[in-house]
Amino acid sequence: MSRYLVVTHQTALSPDLHRKVIALIAEDPAAEFAVLVPEAPGLTFTWEGETVDVARHRADAAKTALEEVARARVFRTAVGAPEPLQAIADELLTHPGYDALVVCTLPPGVSRWLKLDLVHRAERKFGLRIIHVVAEATAQARP
């Protein structure tokens, strides 16, 4: 049984992410998933705690969609630090045992995470298999 940490934010409800999770379940029907949604960073127009609420809502919505659409076993959802590499590090420290990270980003040119080189930095830092999913941006996916 493989355990995957799905790291997403604006792409949490992406059909591209659902397809990848379905493919992972096809490879390992006993696979389990956790969803980590980092807070949105540096939004100065929000009240304190709103970015956490948005991230928590996204994590819950992603869990529901993965369970209903992909038939995935989602055993945990979490909201992480605004810096995605730190959010992943915190999750791996407090909940070890993941076999791979599924990092779902917006496309190049739009994705802040790709500009931060998150995929390669996470691979180097954590030594886990990284599965990168590029999802198209949708109006509903934006905070």
- The reported pTM is 0.89
The pLDDT assigned to 41 comes to: 66
pLDDT in tens, the chain (143 residues): 999 999 999 999 999 999 999 999 999 999 999 999 999 765 544 445 557 888 899 999 999 999 999 999 999 999 999 999 999 999 999 999 999 999 999 999 999 999 999 999 999 999 999 999 999 865 444 33
**89-95 long-range CB contacts below 8 Å, 24 or more apart?**
89/125, 89/126, 91/5, 91/34, 91/36, 92/5, 92/126, 95/34
Q: Mind listing the domains of the chain with CATH numbers?
A: 3-141 (3.40.50.620)
Residues 6 or more apart whose Cβ sits within 8 Å of residue 62: 6, 8, 12, 13, 17, 35, 37, 77
